[in-house]
Amino acid sequence: MNDQELFDTMCETLYSAVISDTLDQLGYRNQVMRENINPIDPSWVVAGRAKTVLSVDIHHLPEDPYAKEIEAVDSVKPGEIVIGCTNESRQNGLWGELLSTASKMRGGRGAIVDGLIRDTAKILELGFPVFATGTKPVDSQGRGIVIDYDIPVLCGGVLVHPGDIIFGDRDGVVVIPGAVLDEVFVLATDKATRENHTRDELLAGFTLRQVYDKYGVL
């Protein structure tokens, strides 16, 4: 299946916990972003390839404050999720309605920001999944500036490379290294199926020991 089909299937059938468990099984044990990065709509589930963007705090008004930011967003490709690394800034509102709109129209699937965002009502209306640590109605101008993109960034405590696969839901954000995507998808799908059988049999009255011995998931 192509990326679009794969990401849609992941959103429909998988969830962050089963992906995290699968990565643990494969020896990738630091792939979940910090717990304070959450979707502004808890119902949102998103999957796509990482489009990394790096910003830093500043304390002056540069001549062209949005140059690199505009360049980065205009280069978003279909199937990508913007990974906005702000180094956990508390002063810079990196993301908002217009960047969300521009990204969506380029085919982007969402944005994950390890900092603050604004315009959440408009983003909700747009239906563009955005995850962040919080909100603050400040412009980035004079507070933060994008200095590079399409480079490895540390976002939410996880090193994210361009093209890594991002999966986010109400429980958190997981980063799947691109080299193991196919294996993770197969193993996570199998585990999710076994968990569904486990749930059904628990609801039918079987004990946890009985179903664990049968399906091996918990």
Task: Estimate the share of the chain in helix, then strand, then coil, as percent rounded to the nearest 5.
Answer: 35, 25, 40
Output the known binding site: 96-99, 118-119
> How distant is the alpha carbon of residue 119 from its chain centre?
19
**Token reading at 158:** 């996880």
Strands (E), 86-138: 93-95, 110-113, 116-117, 130-132, 134-135
> How distant is the alpha carbon of residue 133 from its chain centre?
12
Q: Following CA atoms 98, 102, 105, 111 in sequence, which dihedral angle do they give, to the nearest 10 degrees?
A: -90
How far is residue 142's CA from residue 129's CA, in Å, rounded to a whole number?
26
Output the known binding site for substrate: 96-99, 118
Q: Is residue 53 within a helix (H) or strand (E), and if so which, with residue range?
A: strand 46-57
The CA–CA distances, whole Å, from 119 to 18, 30, 138 equal 32, 31, 10
* β-strands 80-85, 46-57 pairing: parallel
Output the known binding site for Mg(2+): 119
* β-strands 80-85, 110-113 pairing: parallel
